[in-house]
Structure 1
Amino acid sequence: MADVVSPEVRSRMMSGIRGKDTKPEMIVRRGLHAMGFRYKLHDKKLPGKPDLVFPKYKAVIFVHGCFWHKHDCKYFKWPKTRTEFWRKKINRNVVRDQSAMSTLQAEGWRVSVVWECAFKRKDEAFDIIKVLADWLNSDLQKVEISGVGLWN
């Protein structure tokens, strides 16, 4: 199936997708900051450059886009064009994510992943922030939040 937009338009659309300061990331940042949590952003010294780093809690939060990180939800679909390119790219992202999280945990960091799909319902943002705040104040090693539920 052919793309519904021209290659130039598609290129412009794809170049506008940000890796930092995404809407879900900003919701998490603003919510946790309002609750008194202080953090570093995208610390290049840590594997995977976590979106939020909480040195006081020895914890990091990754806010993942469902498409770019191959989340098993209704928002992830393999592209119908350039399939080999996209499969290599996205699978490489997944391997890199797993490696970064394993390394962080081996170094004693607690890891949380918040998926983009968790924010699809506007009334969920406060609940997500509350879960993250509770996790930061707990001893739990890992938490994952998505549109289909919460996993520890």
Structure 2
Amino acid sequence: MKHSKLLILSAALSVTFLSACEVSNHENSKVQQSTLKGKDNMQPQSPMLNEIFSSEKYIRPGQSKDVNHIVSKYLPIGSSKEEVINKLNEMNQNYKEEGNIIHAGYRKKTPPMTPQAGVRITLKFNNFSYLENIDSEFSYAQ
């Protein structure tokens, strides 16, 4: 009787252990990897944002880094407001106009409890509606 109870207990523990191993292996399997491939690294469709995200990967959460040099390549100082808006639309970039200022940006979707990468862009125009100042930064929110 003791022997059969011990045998049943060891069989139950073995099945539990093997099930846990199978779940772990499935998470690391090629099928699992191929279905998730690239989903957590999805980039925005804007070439400007793609360049920012690919070049600014090495800052710590809570820190930010100036990316004016990248933004100004796509939206040069002296451009008319109309040209800037057209360029933002071409790049599928969301923005909001507030008088002589355009706010744009992007927050990368990440799993919970993971620092969220983002870009904040403020474009200031003079009274003649020409771009005179760019204030932009890349950061990881905690």
Shared fold (TM-score, shorter chain, > 0.5): no
Higher strand share: 2
Greater C-alpha Rg: 2
| TMscore range, shorter length | under 0.3
Q: Compute the TM-score of the two structures, normalised by the length of structure 2.
A: 0.28
